[in-house]
Structures are given as structure tokens and as C-alpha cells.
Structure 1
């Protein structure tokens, strides 16, 4: 799951809880004592969601069917693909605006320091509705990793598998909502 999916699953919590969910990928380690309690709770929630989605049968099947050279990177790509389907099917302008307000209200962890302002300025959470934009975002992540851009190499497979990805989303998203939308 990426920003939009985590936001949707955390939407009923406080702004601090939402913030924790949104910044969790930029926070290293298990020691969260330096964070306000609700932010730390949000970080833990984010990590529980990530662990559940990574073990979900739909994700495991998609990963197994991906081209071997890119298989290791499928989880990263799928995180953004799930945001695409949320943005395309369930776009919630109020939630997007809340995310931008919460993210813009305090500095992001260093690992997200440049990404968050670009995301807000470029309205990425809404633009994920465009699958081409989502694939360019996936390739952009790959350009920041060492070695060949395996994520960019994966985008033709994502395009070819679009109906299967959508069907997987339709099956897994209600389960994630039921389990994590407290």
C-alpha cells in the first residue's frame, strides 16, 4: 500500500495518527519513543498493513507471475498500483486535501524530505488515477535505486496485466478495509 491506501485505512483516526501512517516509510527502526504517541501508533499501523498486504494471496500470486528479473520489485510497484485503483475508483478530494494539510504541517523525515513537497505540489494523490502517471511514478522510484531500473522494466508487465491487477484489487481491498479501518 502507498500513501493514498494508507490514508484511506487511517482516515478515521486523528491527524497525528494519519501523519504516522503517511510518513512511516521514512521512519527507520522500531524505537518510536521520539514521536508523539498517536504518530507512533500510526507508524505501527502502517507497518501492520504493509505486512498483511505483502502476505496476501493476491499479492503472492502476482509476485510469482511477474518476470523473474523484476520479481523482487513487484511489491513496490503494486503499492502504487493500489493507489491508482483507489484514486480512479474512490477518489475522495477531502481525504486528499487532509493528507496534504497533515503532510505540509510538519517536516517529513529525511528519507521523505524532497518527496513530500513534490507530491503535494504535483497533486500526486489525485494524479494516481491516471495509470500512465502511476507507471511513471513507479519508474521514478526505480531510478533512485542502485543498478538497472527494474521498476521501469516492470511497467510493460503492469500494463499487460492491468485487468488481473484490477481484479486482485477488487478482491483484496475490502479485506484490508475490514481488517484495518478501525
Structure 2
């Protein structure tokens, strides 16, 4: 799961909890004492969601379908694809759009961890959370993340597979998302 999916799963919490969910990938280590208790709870929630998703049979099956040379990176690509499906299925009306605006407000008002600091203004300015609804945008985002990694862009190499496997990935999401929402009590 990526920004939008984590936001959706944390939307019922207060702003600090939601913010913790949004920045968790930029926070390393288990010592969260530098963060308020609500932000730390959000970071822990994000990590719990990631652990549940990464071990889920749907994800294990999707990973197994990916081209062998890209399997090390397929989790990153799938995180972005899940945001695509969340954007298409969950962000439908003004109430849902309020969640997107709430995320942007929090990310704009609060300093991001160093690992995410340069990306957050771009995420807001380019409206990534709404942009994920467009699969071409999502594929560009996958390739863009790959450009920030060292070595060959293995994420960009996964884009043809994502396009070819789209219908199956959509079915995967349709199985995974309701189970995840039920399991997390959302």
C-alpha cells in the first residue's frame, strides 16, 4: 500500500495519526520517541498494514506472477498500483476528496522526514493522490520511483507486466481490499 491506501485505512484517526501513516516509509527504526504518541501510533499502524499486506496470499501470488528479474522490486510497483485502485474505487465524492485535501494539508503544514522531504512538495503540487486514478500516471510514478534507485530501472521494466496483468491485478485488489478493511476494523 502506498500513500492513498494508507490514508484511507487511517482516515478515522486524528490528524497526527493520519500524518504518521503518511510519513512512515520515511521513518527508520523502532525507536519512535522523537514523535508524538499519536504520530508514533500512525507509524506503527502503517507498518502493521504493510506486514499484513506483504504476507497476504493475494500479494504472494501477484509477486510470483511478476517477471523474475523484477521480483525484488515488485512490492514497490504493487504499492503504487493499489493506490491506483483505491483512487478509482474509493475516492468518489466530496467527502472522499476531503480526505485527499486533509492529507495535502498535513503534508504541507508539517515537516516530512528527510527521506521524504524533497518528494512531498511535488506530491502535493502534482496532485498524486488524485492522479493515481489514471493508470498511465501510476505507471509513470512506478518508473519515476525506479529512477531514484541505483542501478538499472527495474521498476520501469515492470510497467509492461503491470499493463498486461492489469485485469488480474484488479481482481487481486477486489479480493485484498475488503479483507484488509475488515481485518483492520475500518
Query: Under TM normalisation by the shorter chain, which class is it?
Result: over 0.9
Gaps of 5+ in 1: none
Matched residue, 2:158: 154
- How much has 1:179 moved relative to structure 2? 1.7
- How much has 1:181 moved relative to structure 2? 4.2
Taking structure 1 as the reference length, what is the TM-score of the superposition?
0.98
Taking structure 2 as the reference length, what is the TM-score of the superposition?
0.96
Establish whether residue 140 from structure 1 lines up as the match of residue 144 from structure 2.
yes
Asked if the contact 1:21/1:43 (under 8 Å) is kept, the reply is yes
Matched residue, 1:89: 89
Alignment RMSD (CA, Å): 0.7
Mapping for residues 1-182 of structure 1, pairs under 5 Å = 1-91=1-91, 92-182=96-186
CA distance in 2, matches of 1:42, 1:12: 11
CA distance in 2, matches of 1:113, 1:181: 31
1:72 aligned counterpart, secondary structure: coil
Which is worse superposed, 85-94 or 117-126? 85-94
1:107 aligned counterpart, secondary structure: coil
CA distance in 2, matches of 1:123, 1:114: 15
Gaps of 5+ in 2: none
